[in-house]
Amino acid sequence: MIGVLLPYVRKFQRSAESNDIVDRFSYQYTSTILGFSAIMMAASQYVGRPIQCWVPAQFTRTWEKYAETYCFIKGTYFLPGAFASEEEMSVTSPDDAVTATPQVGYYQWIPIVLFVQAFLFYLPSIIWRTFNESCELKIKELAAVSEASRKIKSNMSDDQVKGRKFGRYFFKKLIFRNESPVFKETGKVVASGKFLPSLYILVKMLYLANVVLQFWILTYFLETKSWMWGWQTFQDLVAGREWETTGIFPRVTMCDFSIMDLTTVHDHSIQCVIVINMLAEKVYVFFWFWLLFVGALTAASLIYWAFIYMLQSIGRNFIYSYLQRTPAFEEEQEKGSLLPANFVDNCLTADGVFISRLVQQNSGDLFTSIMLEEMFNLYKARESEKAHKKDDDNALPPASAPIELKDDDDDDLPLPPPTKAIAETLSSDDEGEDTDDVDSPDTTATLPR
C-alpha cells in the first residue's frame, strides 16, 4: 500500500532547494506523517468495525447493526471510574483524577481532522512558492540550476565552467531587476531588494503560528482541559494509570438510544467498545511531542534568519568569505575601495545574498566561490566602463545650438543669368504642357551633359 501511495506523495513534495531543513520538518515530514496517519485511521474506521457494542440477547443481527451505527453517529459517553478496579481507584488521588466530558464523539472526525492538519502544515509552503515566483530572480529556477550542477559528476574544470556560466546568468538577472524601469514600475515592493528575505521571514512566522494553532486544535478537538494534556497523558502511561481512570481516549463507553414501538417507546443503554481509540491514543501522544519539537525548531530558525538579515554586516561577511583570495577582490581591498561593499549592497542586495546562501546549501562552497568571483568581476568591469564613459562625457564641450555657416556677402551678390541650354529647356517645358507626349526625346535633347 505504501509503495502505491509514494508516487502521489512525491507530487506534493516541493523541491528542497528553496528553503531550509526546518521548513521541511513542517511542510514535508509532518504533512507526510499526518497524511499516513489519516489514511491508517480512515482504513480502520470506515473499512473495519470502528465500534462494537454489547447488546441484549433479544436483539437480532439487524438490530445490533442498527444500534452500533446509531451509537457511532450520535456519539457515546464515558462514566469516570465505572470501569476502573478498586486497586486503580485507591492509588488515584482526587487531584489526579480527570473527568472527561459526557459526550465522546471526536473519534468520528479523526481522519478528516488529520487531513486538515496536514494541509495546514503544507499551506505556508504554498504561500512561499506562489509569491517568491513573482520576483524576477526566479529563486526556484536559480536554485534548481545550481543543484543540478552538484548532482552531475564532473571534474574541476567542468565545475569552473558551470560556476562561471551560472554567475553570468545570475548577474544578468540582478542587473535587469535593479535597472529595468518597467520592472520597477510594476513591482516596487518586489524590486526593493529585500523582498525575498522579508517574505521568507513572514513564512517562518506562519509556520510558527501554525504550530500554535495545531495545539489549540488538539485541545479543542479532544476536549481536554489543558494544552499540556500530551505530557499529562504520557505521565499517566508511565505511572500505569490507563484510560479507565483518566478518561482520555476511553476504550469502553456507554450509549443510550430509544426504539419506538406501535404503542410504547423502549429505552436501551448498551456498552460499546471504541477500537479506534486504542490507535488514536498512540498517534496523538506522539504527535503532541512531535509538534512540540517542530515548534521549538521553527522558533529557533525564525530568530536565526531574522537576526542575520537585520544586521547588514553579516550578509557582507558571508559574501566576503567566498571572495577572499580572489585577485580582483584583493586588489580592491588593498586600495580601500568601496566597490566590494557596493557590490553586496547595490548589486546583490538582500535578495542576492539570500539566494547565494541557498546556492551554498545546495551546491557547496566551491561552486559558490566560483559563482561570486565571476559576478564580482562582471560588476567591476561594468563599474569601470561606467566611470570611463562618464569621464568621456565630461571631456566634451557643453552642448549648444548648431552653428549655421553663412557668408555675409551672399545677399549682396546678384544671381547669374541662366545659360542658353537652361533657357531652352525651360521654354520647351512650357510648350510641352500643351502636348500629350511629355516623354518625347525632344524634351530632353537640350539638357546639359
Mean pLDDT, residues 123-139? 78
Q: Do 233 and 245 meet the contact criterion of CB atoms below 8 Å apart?
A: no
Examine the domain organization and report whether 128 and 93 are in the same domain. Answer: yes
**Structure confidence by residue, pLDDT tens digits, 260-282:** 877 788 788 888 888 888 888 88
| pLDDT(430) > 80 | no
Examine the domain organization and report whether 67 and 164 are in the same domain. Answer: no
**Structure confidence by residue, pLDDT tens digits, 64-94:** 888 888 888 887 887 765 555 555 444 444 4
**Structure confidence by residue, pLDDT tens digits, 354-412:** 888 888 877 778 888 999 999 999 999 998 888 887 766 666 555 544 544 444 444 44
Q: What is the pLDDT of residue 68?
A: 85
Nearest to 104, CA basis, from 51, 59, 62, 40 = 51
Examine residue 394 and state whether it is found in any structural domain, yes or no.
Answer: no
Q: Which residue among 254, 283, 301 closes a domain? A: 301
Q: Please tell me which residue, 77 or 328, carries the higher pLDDT value.
A: 328
Q: Which residue among 251, 277, 301 closes a domain? A: 301
Examine residue 424 and state whether it is found in any structural domain, yes or no.
Answer: no
Question: Sign (positive/negative) of CA torsion 124, 125, 128, 130?
Answer: negative
Mean pLDDT, residues 141-147? 60
Tell me the pLDDT of the chain averaged across its residues.
75
Examine the domain organization and report whether 55 and 113 are in the same domain. Answer: yes
Examine residue 7 and state whether it is found in any structural domain, yes or no.
Answer: no
Examine the domain organization and report whether 211 and 336 are in the same domain. Answer: no
Integer Cα distance of 263 and 320 in angstroms: 91
Q: What is the pLDDT of residue 83?
A: 55
Backbone angles phi and psi of 60, in degrees to 5: -80, 175
Examine residue 211 and state whether it is found in any structural domain, yes or no.
Answer: yes
Examine the domain organization and report whether 119 and 212 are in the same domain. Answer: yes
Integer Cα distance of 135 and 193 in angstroms: 10
Highest average pLDDT, of 44-58, 203-217, 427-441, comes from 203-217
Examine residue 237 and state whether it is found in any structural domain, yes or no.
Answer: yes
C-alpha cell at 385: 566602463
Integer Cα distance of 257 and 444 in angstroms: 122
pLDDT band of 319, cuts 50, 70, 90: very high
The residues facing 274 across adjacent strands are 51
Examine residue 335 and state whether it is found in any structural domain, yes or no.
Answer: yes
CB atoms within 10 A of CB 229: 22
| pLDDT(295) > 70 | yes
Q: Please tell me which residue, 429 or 224, carries the higher pLDDT value.
A: 224
Mean pLDDT, residues 146-171? 72
Examine the domain organization and report whether 148 and 132 are in the same domain. Answer: no
Examine the domain organization and report whether 120 and 220 are in the same domain. Answer: yes
Q: How many helices (H) and strands (E) does the chain have?
A: 19, 5
Examine the domain organization and report whether 126 and 165 are in the same domain. Answer: no
Integer Cα distance of 283 and 289 in angstroms: 10
Examine the domain organization and report whether 355 and 210 are in the same domain. Answer: no
| pLDDT(119) > 80 | yes
Count of positions (residues) in the chain: 449
Nearest to 178, CA basis, from 46, 342, 61, 316 = 342
Q: What is the pLDDT of residue 434?
A: 45
| pLDDT(34) > 80 | yes
Q: Do 113 and 141 meet the contact criterion of CB atoms below 8 Å apart?
A: no
Examine the domain organization and report whether 262 and 288 are in the same domain. Answer: yes
Predicted structure pTM score = 0.71
Integer Cα distance of 367 and 156 in angstroms: 10
Show the domain range for 280: 18-136+194-301
pLDDT band of 289, cuts 50, 70, 90: very high
Task: Tell me whether strands 103-104 and 265-274 are parallel, antiparallel or unpaired.
Answer: unpaired
Q: What is the pLDDT of residue 320?
A: 92
Examine the domain organization and report whether 132 and 144 are in the same domain. Answer: no
Tally of structural domains, the chain: 2
Examine residue 428 and state whether it is found in any structural domain, yes or no.
Answer: no
Examine the domain organization and report whether 231 and 114 are in the same domain. Answer: yes
C-alpha cell at 424: 531652352
Mean pLDDT, residues 158-175? 84
Q: Which residues contact 414 (CB under 8 A, 6 or more apart)?
A: none
| pLDDT(178) > 60 | yes
| pLDDT(292) > 50 | yes
Mean pLDDT, residues 92-104? 49
Question: Sign (positive/negative) of CA torsion 291, 294, 300, 303?
Answer: negative
**Structure confidence by residue, pLDDT tens digits, 224-259:** 777 788 788 777 777 766 655 556 777 788 888 888
| pLDDT(438) > 50 | no
Integer Cα distance of 69 and 62 in angstroms: 11
Examine residue 249 and state whether it is found in any structural domain, yes or no.
Answer: yes
Integer Cα distance of 33 and 214 in angstroms: 14
pLDDT band of 149, cuts 50, 70, 90: low
